[in-house]
Structure 1
């Protein structure tokens, strides 16, 4: 950095730190009567929400939670989770959002590694707790989160043996007044664990400043540029991404800042999601492609066509294929893509259609809507080769995406070696191969570990999946590369047929060959083998689990 002249400081002057409590405070200023809804079980306005957050702070401090202690939450997407986003962090404690879809052994590892001291746990996950409780090394206290209390008043305060108390009863018995303190904005606020291809889950962590700045980044892009319109006066937000997964992509912080109506669906069930979309007037969500595919394929989708036409959906986690995008657009859903990763809090880019692109017919917009997006405000994204050299942004040259932002994690908790690898050459490495256009579009080719190297060519598994998605009768697909003695690797595909379609490998290959003959696809984009399945393996956050697919298909080849 260059030497500069700093502004003079006055001893009496105060420079407010960027804290999560300041996001919360904004929710009371303008529209405090707006609601936060949990399924069909509970609703409150922002005045009540602020009171409950302060009650939670009193409960936690009364139970002995101190600044720097880690509080773990195992819950479905709920109003309680939202209260923890603010109540835990604003007392200076660390919120550990536990991935409940991990195996019990992995959950045990993450809770011990994070040094959790207090646990808030939904009744559905008590069997997991029973299997690991005796091996938790640092936990002092367990609080029950129950849905029964909203339908049976007799359930309030009832807890199984070994738990300290029940959430609603504890909140009821304390004051709704709490003066959240000021502290350093670089204070550790949250942590969660991301799984990789090898080794134990990695602990990612964020400060108050980083989460505050990520919220400002979303505010600038979504509200200022209207990359994905979010008008607090008229829009209703419902996450369909787990709150344990990168803070539900940071949107709950933004929605609270704007005092927008928020709807939390709890456990993801298609019928409940569609019902909430209709009855609560949901207009904005985000999810992985699997969830969107499940919803647009539902027989009820056509029935609710009018409501779906008011719905905007941001897709992330995995690539949005052109086939799925067209199916959503046909229902009137305003579907676009975003790109990021756990380590980047997560937003790095979101589709932004400029005036000329927005004027195009929907069919011509699909190519733009399925890209990873335009680089978000305050994000410096580059392409880098293996030697640490930057590559041109010409829309053709491929390299690894590396980034710097005000909100990227500084490393992995208690894992300096992997943290140093993440930040090699002073840039955060995403592990994704992409091109960047002169007008700032990111076009992801593949994960570095998923690119198929065949016959001296690099073939994108994402491009192959996109091609398959556009064939009639294909509901979902996954493509992986498997070892080949002649070519190094060759692509193999899994396909889920749409209901009512009888697909054959020969028919799929014939359709692909016609595109190859027309020059629309490269010859390397023909899979060696096509298997038809009823389900494609997914990770705990809904991404296609290509590591597992490769392992299982290798085993099948060896046994055949």
Structure 2
């Protein structure tokens, strides 16, 4: 597997390479006067955006960034981050999106491993950088970001920094001829964390990002899986842009010159304000963020009937889906990995399913989606044999497609393990229906083997989400002398139900579903512990490793 960062284009090639700059060029062709805005602080149109992208490329060139160099970005979801999404790859450099929720030690590892040369950082994250600055081995220049410039407030640039982002852009030229090069040249890199060892560096080429964008266009603009029409829709991410390219939607929205809204630091009241005042119609986020938004005071006084939200990162439970649909929010599920850029599937309701009442649609909307165009998925058993797509048989999801990472940077053996037998192994156990719905059962390491049955922790969490008073839950398995393993649950209650709902009342509610034949007895957890908060990873997923540790101490105490 090659890890070459920059591949020169051969002089004899007459085909136009599939580069990120090709996506950017589309933004000026049809609707260049549509807006991109940041909070309530900054607005621009696509003409100005393209000028700023070129100014940033000139700024970085002046600071010594060359093709193949890596530029790290620490920022909230902003127009500046979007400019980095284009300027850095288009000049032949590599964008390293920093996960600001990692520990300083993990960030240090990632930056040194990626060999970051220049850092662009919002002042809110300076404490993170200051904690590791003396140990960075390759960083030469640092550029400061501050929102104070939009509020006519003083900006203090630390000693040794190049300067402040906006001031530097103003002095840079807006003329920059982005070069051609081989489409397999690296465009982005970021790091994905596991339960053990250091974070792993995944990387994506210009061709892979281009093809991922074409896959999204086909699925949501063509098949209208999650309908998105740039003439009518307004896009606002509520996923951090460092998280797998914000699922590819900023590249798509920019190519289509759709109106875009960037909320910066996530504040429920501001998100709600932007939703209503800017008429946002499409967002994506993890379940935790949607839960936060729908629990805002006054949410029922706001018309959210045009808002479409894609949920990823963790499973969309039926309880959350019902709560969203009751508010008029059209909620969908998506599935993918850091290694897959990430889209592998999205909710697609066919003609018959689209006409079902919402209560019946919930069953489909909470699946992991239908397999996306241009993605090939096969279920495999432990022996690597294909498992039938009959909706019942379980196997590990293995995938192939035009936008999957080739491996892990500087870790050839781990990359070969990821791609063993020519398929990327996701580590997720699932069933696939004959009509291409993916039904995730669990991570391979989280499946609970109880009494000869494979019990899905996700399925139990789904049932718990529908118990009155339950806001959130997490289920893990523990060894059991009689049954091999048994499920145990952490549960967070909705504020109005604290003190009124107990572990026993929750078990009783589940037993009703057992009596009705909806679930089997293995799905009722042995222990249910009510807590105020459930541990999450840096990207908002349930942290099953930490949950097991905390649950073990609770059980043994």
In which range does the TM-score fall when normalised by the shorter chain? over 0.9
Distance 1:73 1:13, change over 3 A: closer
Query: Counterparts of 1:105-116 in structure 2 under 5 Å?
Result: 105-116=105-116
Query: Counterparts of 1:273-352 in structure 2 under 5 Å?
Result: 273-304=271-302, 306=303, 308-352=304-348
Q: Say yes or no: does 1:370 pair with 2:366.
A: yes
Instruction: Name the SS of the counterpart of 1:88 in structure 2.
Output: helix
Separation in structure 2 between the aligned mates of residue 337 and residue 491 of structure 1, nearest angstrom:
25
1:553 Cα offset (Å): 1.3
Instruction: Name the SS of the counterpart of 2:496 in structure 1.
Output: coil
Separation in structure 2 between the aligned mates of residue 474 and residue 117 of structure 1, nearest angstrom:
47
Separation in structure 2 between the aligned mates of residue 426 and residue 68 of structure 1, nearest angstrom:
28
Query: For residue 3 of structure 2, what is the aligned residue in structure 1?
Result: none
Query: For residue 14 of structure 1, what is the aligned residue in structure 2?
Result: 14
Instruction: Give 1:432's match in structure 2, choosing from 428, 438, 443.
Output: 428
Query: For residue 552 of structure 1, what is the aligned residue in structure 2?
Result: 550
Separation in structure 1 between the aligned mates of residue 532 and residue 37 of structure 2, nearest angstrom:
34
1:151-171 CA deviation, whole Å, 9 max, x = no partner?
01643xx41112111111110
1:190-231 CA deviation, whole Å, 9 max, x = no partner?
000000111111101000000000000000000000000101
Instruction: Name the SS of the counterpart of 1:411 in structure 2.
Output: coil
Query: For residue 32 of structure 1, what is the aligned residue in structure 2?
Result: 32
Q: Say yes or no: does 1:141 pair with 2:141.
A: yes
Separation in structure 2 between the aligned mates of residue 415 and residue 228 of structure 1, nearest angstrom:
37
Query: For residue 8 of structure 1, what is the aligned residue in structure 2?
Result: none
Separation in structure 2 between the aligned mates of residue 154 and residue 245 of structure 1, nearest angstrom:
31
Query: For residue 499 of structure 1, what is the aligned residue in structure 2?
Result: 495
Separation in structure 1 between the aligned mates of residue 374 and residue 120 of structure 2, nearest angstrom:
35
Question: Which deviates the most, 90-99 or 468-477?
Answer: 468-477
1:557 Cα offset (Å): 2.6
Q: Indicate the RMSD between aligned Cα atoms, in angstroms.
A: 1.0
Query: For residue 74 of structure 1, what is the aligned residue in structure 2?
Result: 74
Separation in structure 2 between the aligned mates of residue 396 and residue 556 of structure 1, nearest angstrom:
35
Separation in structure 1 between the aligned mates of residue 285 and residue 134 of structure 2, nearest angstrom:
35
Query: For residue 469 of structure 1, what is the aligned residue in structure 2?
Result: 465
Separation in structure 2 between the aligned mates of residue 280 and residue 121 of structure 1, nearest angstrom:
27
Q: Say yes or no: does 1:479 pair with 2:479.
A: no
Q: Say yes or no: does 1:403 pair with 2:399.
A: yes
Query: For residue 352 of structure 2, what is the aligned residue in structure 1?
Result: 356
Query: For residue 91 of structure 1, what is the aligned residue in structure 2?
Result: 91
Q: TM-score, normalised by structure 1?
A: 0.96
1:347 Cα offset (Å): 0.2
Instruction: Name the SS of the counterpart of 1:365 in structure 2.
Output: helix
Instruction: Give 1:236's match in structure 2, choosing from 234, 237, 247.
Output: 234
Instruction: Name the SS of the counterpart of 1:250 in structure 2.
Output: helix
1:88 Cα offset (Å): 0.4
1:269 Cα offset (Å): 1.1
Query: For residue 490 of structure 1, what is the aligned residue in structure 2?
Result: 486
Confirm or deny: 8 A CA contact 2:77 2:264 kept in the other structure: yes
Instruction: Name the SS of the counterpart of 2:201 in structure 1.
Output: strand
1:416-445 CA deviation, whole Å, 9 max, x = no partner?
121111101110001000011111111111
Q: TM-score, normalised by structure 2?
A: 0.97
Unpaired segments ≥5 residues, structure 1? 1-10
Separation in structure 2 between the aligned mates of residue 285 and residue 37 of structure 1, nearest angstrom:
15
1:12 Cα offset (Å): 7.5
Separation in structure 1 between the aligned mates of residue 146 and residue 159 of structure 2, nearest angstrom:
15
1:298 Cα offset (Å): 1.9
Instruction: Name the SS of the counterpart of 1:96 in structure 2.
Output: strand
1:13 Cα offset (Å): 7.2
1:363-413 CA deviation, whole Å, 9 max, x = no partner?
111100000011000000010111111111111110000000100000001
Query: For residue 160 of structure 2, what is the aligned residue in structure 1?
Result: 162
Separation in structure 2 between the aligned mates of residue 455 and residue 359 of structure 1, nearest angstrom:
40
Confirm or deny: 8 A CA contact 2:368 2:438 kept in the other structure: yes
1:130 Cα offset (Å): 1.0
Separation in structure 2 between the aligned mates of residue 198 and residue 227 of structure 1, nearest angstrom:
36
Query: For residue 4 of structure 2, what is the aligned residue in structure 1?
Result: none
1:324 Cα offset (Å): 0.5
1:15-73 CA deviation, whole Å, 9 max, x = no partner?
00000001000000000000001011111000000000000000000000000000000
Q: Say yes or no: does 1:393 pair with 2:381.
A: no
Separation in structure 1 between the aligned mates of residue 64 and residue 13 of structure 2, nearest angstrom:
33
Separation in structure 2 between the aligned mates of residue 434 and residue 182 of structure 1, nearest angstrom:
42
Separation in structure 1 between the aligned mates of residue 78 and residue 105 of structure 2, nearest angstrom:
25
